[in-house]
Amino acid sequence: MIIFEPQAIGHHMHYVRHVAKEALKRDHNVKLATFQSSLEHPATAKLMEECGLIETVILSEDEENYWRPRISDDNPVKRKLSFHRMFVENYRKLCVSKDDIVFVPFLDYVDYAMAVLGSPFGESRWGGLVFCPEYYSTSPNIIASRSRLNWLRKLLLNSLLEKKSMKALFTINSVLYSSLSESAGGYGQKLWYVPEPVEFTGSGERGEARRRLKLSAEGTVILVYGELSPRKGIGALLSATRHPMFPEDVRILLAGPQDVHTRRMLSSPVVKDLRREGRLHEINRYLTGQDEYDVFKAADIVWLGYRGFYGRSAVLFQAGRMGLPVIACKSGEIGFFTRKYGLGLTVNVGDRRDVAEAVTSLVQDKALADGYGRKGVDFSEDHTADRFAKIICDGLGL
């Protein structure tokens, strides 16, 4: 089995690690094709620590430098075509046996390009995990910008399922799964729904976590977690702290690597005032293991006020696993799940008063917050790394 995952971004290498561990348990050899730069990422280090038998195939630096300007293109069509060409070139160099199976943990790199141009993996059987966050706009129950191209996306994904060499198409997108299940016909057996995997490997109580993070034992902490970018709606939350209704004893914990736009935003006078007041705490790095556990354990509320994003977030399931209520955007699957399963409050992210009122409600009504937290535990119960990996390995026929 060879796993094509060029970049250690988001949860990509976690998906690789879960699947690789299960494949190794089933006595399969596993190779990982990735960029050299990905080996320096903590998620890849954790992968290698837990799966020492993996052979790493490095996509050459020349190849990476050649393709990156095209891969980072803002035009999604050009970007997918560039990834497809890069996969073709590197697959040829790897001399993979046609008996090997290829798995792509983030098929959105090349999904529509493969539907048109065919598989970049020669005669090898392959499978991939597709997200298609833009596909949420097809559901009448989900608030999202509507696209006239959804019919084309559906046509291309159905074309993928019809590819002879495709073994399985996996998705965590419940809307996409339901839609394709209705139209896939005889190819429906290739379509698999998988739960977003959640795992925590740390331990300890709330007081211990706060001490390790140098946070006061008193007061309420709102956690903003993950790779921090404007999409997370951080600016809206920080701005809401200046509304008269926002509780003064609430602190914000930003936990995760900050992109350049976030760093620029965090240099504003409002943010400097929050730091000086001791109401803003930052951990500007990738977190895993005990560190990841601690930031959730130390928190009282999780912020999911995303902007311009309609897919789901693993943070929603992580909050649920820890029994924490969320304050979420109204749009996308995040808002839909929050309302449907009673995981917290949804707000108009750009409305400071709305955000401040939601924070006040959860701070002042502990029974309300605890109720949302208990529902979150039930909601995330089946979203385990083991279940995720077993479904994928079963679907690939390993």
More confident residue, 367 or 70: 367
Give me the number of domains the chain comprises. Answer: 2
Q: For 192, phi and psi rounded to 5 degrees?
A: -130, 135
Within 10 angstroms of residue 397's Cβ, the number of other Cβ atoms is 10
CATH of the domain at 350: 3.40.50.2000
- pLDDT for 73 equals 60
97 and 170 within one domain? yes
185 and 70 within one domain? yes
Tens digit of each residue's pLDDT (9 = 90 or more) over 145-203: 666 767 788 888 889 999 999 999 999 988 788 888 887 777 888 999 999 999 999 99
235 and 183 within one domain? no
User: Does pLDDT of 104 surpass 60?
Assistant: yes
375 and 389 within one domain? no
345 and 260 within one domain? yes
375 and 360 within one domain? yes
State the chain's mean pLDDT as an integer: 90
341 and 297 within one domain? yes
pTM: 0.89
User: Does pLDDT of 60 surpass 80?
Assistant: no
Buried b (16+ CB within 10 A) or exposed e, 2-33: bbbbbbbeebbbbbbbbbbbbbbeeeeebbbb
220 and 98 within one domain? no
What residue ranges in 209-331 does DSSP mark as E strands? 220-225, 250-255, 280-283, 301-304, 326-329
Give the domain extent around 210: 206-380
pLDDT band at residue 48 using 50, 70 and 90 as cut-offs: very high
- Mean pLDDT value across residues 386-390: 96
pLDDT band at residue 290 using 50, 70 and 90 as cut-offs: very high
Tens digit of each residue's pLDDT (9 = 90 or more) over 251-267: 999 999 999 999 999 99
Task: Please tell me the distance from the alpha carbon of residue 219 to that of residue 249, in angstroms, as a whole number.
Answer: 5
- pLDDT for 180 equals 84
Tens digit of each residue's pLDDT (9 = 90 or more) over 352-376: 999 999 999 999 999 999 999 999 9
364 and 276 within one domain? yes
- pLDDT for 137 equals 55
- Mean pLDDT value across residues 209-236: 95
256 and 170 within one domain? no
